[in-house]
Amino acid sequence: MYIKCRLSDSLTTFKGLHFGTTCRAKSSHRYTSTVGVGGNIGDVKRRFEHLFVYLKKDKRVELLQTSLILKNPPFGFSDQDDFFNSIIVLKTSMQPIVFLDYLMRLEKRFARKRSFANAPRTLDLDIIFFDNRIINKLKLQVPHVDWSKRESVLIPLMDINR
């Protein structure tokens, strides 16, 4: 069950059982990471709920907060279904590159296939911020490139920061 709120002709938010909530608890993990969550293939909202449950059970991370889910048009390759996007804030003790590899394995676990840039996908997990660090590696750039220009990141972030 989701509470739906239409923001404009092309933007809609959804509040669900696990999205749009705070899960704060004491954590022994060292780093805080803000992760963008997205997808547009299949039952994406249900997949997000499965991801939430998976992350709650995984001792390598601790969920702190989730944003509302935003339905928004695709960018880049526009001949595809709208995306659902959210933000998850969590704690981890993994170093940034190890954490990125962890997220990529999660994408694969949820049937992500990489065919071309901005292609439709079952699940997309992007590190937006990692413990206030600036990282410029070939494999990882933090803060995420163009995060401040994307409604798919900004609107969920505003929900987190309320």
Return the SS3 of 83.
Answer: strand
Question: CATH number for the 3-160 domain, one of 3.30.70.560, 1.10.510.10, 3.40.190.10, 3.30.70.930?
Answer: 3.30.70.560
Q: Whose CA is closest to 14, among 46, 42, 59, 41?
A: 46
Which pLDDT band holds residue 88 (cuts at 50, 70, 90)? very high
Quote the distance between the C-alpha of residue 57 and its chain's center: 17
Mean of the pLDDT values across residues 33-43? 94
Q: Is the pLDDT reported for residue 56 higher than 70?
A: yes
The top-scoring range by mean pLDDT among 5-9, 79-83, 105-109 is: 105-109
CB 35 within 8 A of CB 23: no
DSSP-H helix ranges across the chain: 44-57, 96-109, 151-160
Q: What is the pLDDT of residue 21?
A: 65
Please state the domain extents for the chain: 3-160
Q: What is the pLDDT of residue 117?
A: 67
Report residue 69 as tokens. 């889910």
Q: What is the pLDDT of residue 1?
A: 66
Which pLDDT band holds residue 133 (cuts at 50, 70, 90)? very high
Backbone angles phi, psi at 56, to 5 degrees: -60, -30
pTM, two decimal places: 0.86
Residue 70 CB burial class (10 angstroms; 0-12, 13-18, ≥19): buried
Backbone angles phi, psi at 109, to 5 degrees: -60, -35
Least confident of 58-62, 134-138, 157-161: 157-161
